[in-house]
Amino acid sequence: MALGDVLVEASELIVGQRQKDYGDPKTSLECIAEFWTVWLNRRFNLNIKLEGLDSCEMLSLVKMARLVTGKYLRDDPRDICGYQAILADAVKGGQK
């Protein structure tokens, strides 16, 4: 495996199979943010609003936690790259 292969895999998933399976990542991440917003607000009596890009950051943290506490699985760093690529694309487009 060459350095950078994981980046290629992440890119292929974002615009390939994951998009076929789940649709546009931005739409999915917005939905995740809405669900998390409701849960966090009700659970901790907060008044916050998460956005889709928060989902990218938080899902990356989930994957990092798995790397730290569990067995190494290639999909964790690959998915982190994917979430961060979506975030970078949104920032480049002026969303954040």
Mean pLDDT, the chain, as a whole number? 92
In angstroms, the CA 43 to CA 8 distance is: 39
pLDDT > 70? residue 96? no
pLDDT band at 3 (very low <50, low <70, confident <90, very high): confident
Q: What is the CA radius of gyration of the chain?
A: 14
pLDDT digits (tens, 9 = 90+) for 44-90: 999 999 999 999 999 999 999 999 998 888 899 999 999 999 999 88
Which residues lie closer than 8 Å to 65 by C-beta, 6 or more apart? Answer: none
pTM of the model: 0.87
Please report where in the chains the tokens 């790397």 appear, as a residue. 67
In angstroms, the CA 46 to CA 10 distance is: 34
pLDDT > 80? residue 93? no
In angstroms, the CA 44 to CA 56 distance is: 22
